A and B are shown apart, each in its own frame.
Chain A
């Protein structure tokens, strides 16, 4: 299954606002996407509540995974989103 590992770019980590933006983007992707902290168990990336429970801080590496015809494109987009400092936007 395609995966992307990315370090969280938001200054305050994956708190409500970045988690909301990720969940919205993952929900709109049209295929199931999971997110996990390195070594942790994956959760649905479209659920901002579950994403927040990862409590990922700035610089923490997370693993995005998806399966489907469009998976690579979707994962690239989501990884790019997480790498940005969403607290600055």
Chain B
């Protein structure tokens, strides 16, 4: 791609495949208090007023739940008790910014302590604090600005609340200076099919309104792109639209079927995926439900959530993964604080050693939800290392009353190497390529600087995928892949060639993978798998497969 002489390129890590061109809308972080506190006392009331007025105006322009939230937030900025408390603090000698910060903090503490519906309003209270403090300090409005036209949202980082508040119809792409490809912003962008580039160093220097090209496939953000890039963006988005129209079941050119499934974490994800041309859910990450809780959700709460998810896919396949906590997903009520090597410690299935009732309750809730919805979900345990653990898990699931297939994840090299034994007791396996790479390469997933070692194209990682798929093929059981790599169209060919029977990924990745599979025969996939395994390095492997792939696929997907 040629760029104009004055163009500036920011390199980051891309999520998705899209290329879009549009104006920048910048989202600003919540303001920190300067050392000297900041703000003029005379401006305290006007600052509250400006925030309340702006939010009221926005509430009247919005509708439904968003209008309610904005209206309530405006009322918080107008609240006499909050204003009185802030004014009292200013009189006592605090600077206005400090006074607002602490007055809000008092309510935040009260609301948090009360729990329930009050605790859910804490985000709105903090947003009032951020807005009023920013007004007092003369800073840009924090959070994502209202988007008048389709825009590229650029931020240092986006809080989950900011991401959730995005007006998806007007977001062309999301670019962050920090964050990682497996962070929540990237995950949500992937689910929504919005091109995303994370870790784009220096991108916050780009001014609001400047036109940028965001190429998720290349991981680049180009300032003032030349007309050729506009044309390419148009062509790629048209190609993407065409791909999305293909709703046929996943299969190779010669009709070898490969189930294309969605990864989900919440009830909202389930409803979104249920309307899309996928053949079910290959990974329902149940820990999302637990992550923000101080205590384990009750069995009734779990039954309600599982029933809603299973009901959304009645008839379709849903693979539920039991609680995968620990390591990068600590749970308030289950994680030991003194874990020295969390990734190698008590996480995933290993939690049964410390809190066996957590798993039993979850499986029981799932069995009740299955009965209530008349479905038979597949269920699997994460972080299984031995055939004995697999056998124990299967027994526990059966005791709980689950009648569908019971399987395990293959993420630990030990389980991959002994997949034959594991499959004697488990009905199916699902390979989690992210963790399998982490454990095969002895590389912390959270260490950005070691990212090359975590490449799923590493031949050693593929070797273990091959071993697992072969073992499953020998006993005609299904072996799925539900990691990042299933979303890479070239890797999808390799996985199918290795004998993988289903691919589960974020919704946005499905059309490109479907297209890649449909353009190649099973024989071609096997050749791709051989080439990838024969390579000495990850780069060589990918290059070899790219050379073997249909040139039309390589061009239209910008591989």
Tell me whether B118 and A47 are in contact (CB under 8 A).
no
B235 contacts chain A at the CB level, 8 A cutoff: no
Tell me whether A44 and B68 are in contact (CB under 8 A).
no
Bound: A44/B85 CA distance, A: 13
Tell me whether B114 and A20 are in contact (CB under 8 A).
no
Cβ–Cβ < 8 Å partners of A24 in chain B: 75
For the residues of A in contact with B, the DSSP-based class is: helix
Bound: A63/B537 CA distance, A: 74
Interface, chain B (partner A; CB < 8 A) = 68-69, 71-72, 75-76, 78-82, 107, 110-111, 114, 116-118, 121, 124-125
Interface residues of A in 34-89 (CB under 8 A from B): 43-44, 46-50, 52-53, 55
Cβ–Cβ < 8 Å partners of A50 in chain B: 81
| Other-chain contact of B68, A16, A23, A52, A53 (Cβ < 8 Å) | A16
Tell me whether B71 and A27 are in contact (CB under 8 A).
no
Bound: A41/B154 CA distance, A: 47
Tell me whether A12 and B79 are in contact (CB under 8 A).
no
Tell me whether A16 and B121 are in contact (CB under 8 A).
yes
Tell me whether B80 and A15 are in contact (CB under 8 A).
no
Cβ–Cβ < 8 Å partners of A15 in chain B: 117
Interface residues of A in 1-49 (CB under 8 A from B): 12-13, 15-17, 19-20, 23-24, 27, 43-44, 46-49
Bound: A47/B107 CA distance, A: 12
Given contacts A16-B68, A52-B118, A52-B121, 14 further A-B contacts (CB under 8 A): A13-B117, A15-B117, A16-B72, A16-B117, A17-B68, A23-B75, A27-B78, A47-B82, A48-B72, A49-B81, A49-B82, A49-B107, A49-B125, A50-B81
Tell me whether B71 and A53 are in contact (CB under 8 A).
no
Cβ–Cβ < 8 Å partners of A44 in chain B: 80-81
How far apart are A42's CB and chain B's nearest CB, in angstroms? 13
Tell me whether A49 and B72 are in contact (CB under 8 A).
no
Tell me whether B79 and A47 are in contact (CB under 8 A).
yes
How far apart are A51's CB and chain B's nearest CB, in angstroms? 9
Bound: A43/B285 CA distance, A: 44
Cβ–Cβ < 8 Å partners of A43 in chain B: 81
Known contacts being A16-B121, A52-B121, is A23 close to B114, with CB within 8 Å? no
Known contacts being A16-B68, A48-B72, A53-B110, is A23 close to B118, with CB within 8 Å? no
How far apart are A69's CB and chain B's nearest CB, in angstroms? 21
Cβ–Cβ < 8 Å partners of A17 in chain B: 68, 71-72
Residue of A nearest to B73 (CB): A16
Tell me whether A12 and B68 are in contact (CB under 8 A).
no
Known contacts being A12-B117, A53-B118, is A48 close to B110, with CB within 8 Å? no
Bound: A16/B118 CA distance, A: 8
Bound: A24/B52 CA distance, A: 13
Tell me whether A20 and B75 are in contact (CB under 8 A).
yes
How far apart are A59's CB and chain B's nearest CB, in angstroms? 16
